[in-house]
Amino acid sequence: MEKDKRNIQIIEWEHLDKRKFYLLGVCMTMMIRVSVYPFTLIRTRLQVQKGKSLYQGTFDAFGKILRAEGPAGLYRGFLVNTLTLVSGQCYVTTYELTRGYVSRYSSSNTLKSLLAGGSASLVAQSITVPIDVVSQHLMMQQRQGQSMGRFRVTTTGQAPPPGRPRPPPPRLFWGQTRDIVAQIFRADGVRGFYRGYVASLLTYIPNSAVWWPFYHFYAEQLANLTPKDCPHLLLQAISGPLAAATASTLTNPMDVIRARVQVEGKSSIRLTFRQLMAEEGPWGLTKGLSARIISATPSTIVIVVGYETLKKLSLRPELVDSRHW
């Protein structure tokens, strides 16, 4: 009994009531998105800016955006970004199904987590990248028609060209989104919506593949170091941010390149890397890392606690008493 309580049991896909799991999962994911989106926006702007031309760091960017653009400025592109809820559910489903498939051939939790995390990210990114491309361009929009990206939406307050009437006020969501979508399509065609797809895969597949094994590793180590009656949910809540910080640090260089490829319209990962190194040196590869970790820490705690709680709440009735919280 002592051994069972100390070991953190992983709830697998076949243990779940799927209807409960999906319904509660969508609600949980939306709450997480609302809480961490401002830091996602800040991270993207920090990664795209040249040097420290506009923002000195995460908190400087937060203050400047809040003063210049108001609270709404921290949520530019948010409604478009919520469409990635679909990819989130596809990610979870792929992760759990892949774990189940790999378990037929191997009992190694590290191998199952590695392959399942990578596969889940591949599926999710194929859905997410077009949404990310549009939402990131919306993130780059500032007041008075300024933009940090290639495209900008029509806004009030701009002087119209000579002989032309002043443009109408922007439609805050669909109007701006349609402007960006049309400009991306005119400039690059359908391929424009998958700009940075390879860079995204090279960023998020390793990130996901690394996060899950480290998450289980940290949870197991903490379980061995703490009393057997220590709540497993607490250990998992600590393990999540540790794994996120580890994965973020390892994959941040590719994340910087991905953001630049998608927002600046570059077509070559290698040339983007060379330009970044020439302009800013190796430190350029760490841009946005603090914002990434700051956004990942609370979100990962919420995700881990929410996800593990979600799985426990979604357990089939006959298995409820077999899991220690």
Per-residue confidence in pLDDT tens, the chain, 325 aa: 344 555 677 777 788 888 888 888 888 788 878 888 898 888 888 888 877 878 888 889 999 999 988 898 899 888 888 887 888 888 888 998 999 899 889 888 889 989 999 999 999 888 888 888 888 888 877 655 566 666 666 554 444 444 554 444 444 445 678 888 888 888 888 888 888 788 788 888 888 888 999 998 999 899 888 888 888 889 999 999 999 999 999 889 888 888 888 777 776 888 888 888 988 888 888 888 888 888 777 778 877 888 888 888 888 777 766 665 5
Beta bridge partners of 141: 147
Residue 318, in any domain of the structure: yes
Please report the pLDDT score of residue 160 as a whole number.
45
Helices (H) and strands (E) in the chain, counts: 11, 0
- Say if residues 232 and 223 touch (Cβ distance below 8 Å): yes
The Cα 7–Cα 209 span in angstroms is 23
CATH number of 245's domain: 1.50.40.10
Residue 47, in any domain of the structure: yes
pTM tops 0.85: no
Residue 308, in any domain of the structure: yes
User: Domain total for the chain?
Assistant: 1
Residue 165, in any domain of the structure: no
Residues 6+ apart with CB under 8 A from 263: 44, 48, 136, 137, 140, 148, 149, 150
SS3 for 68-94, per residue? HHCHHHHHCCHHHHHHHHHHHHHHHHH
Residue 163, in any domain of the structure: no
Residue 273, in any domain of the structure: yes
The Cα 102–Cα 2 span in angstroms is 29
Please report the pLDDT score of residue 320 as a whole number.
66
- Which letter does DSSP use for residue 50 in this model? S
Residue 161, in any domain of the structure: no
Give 170: exposed, middle or buried? Use CB within 10 Å, 0-12, 13-18, 19+: middle
Residue 208, in any domain of the structure: yes
Domain span at 64: 2-155+171-322
Please report the pLDDT score of residue 143 as a whole number.
58
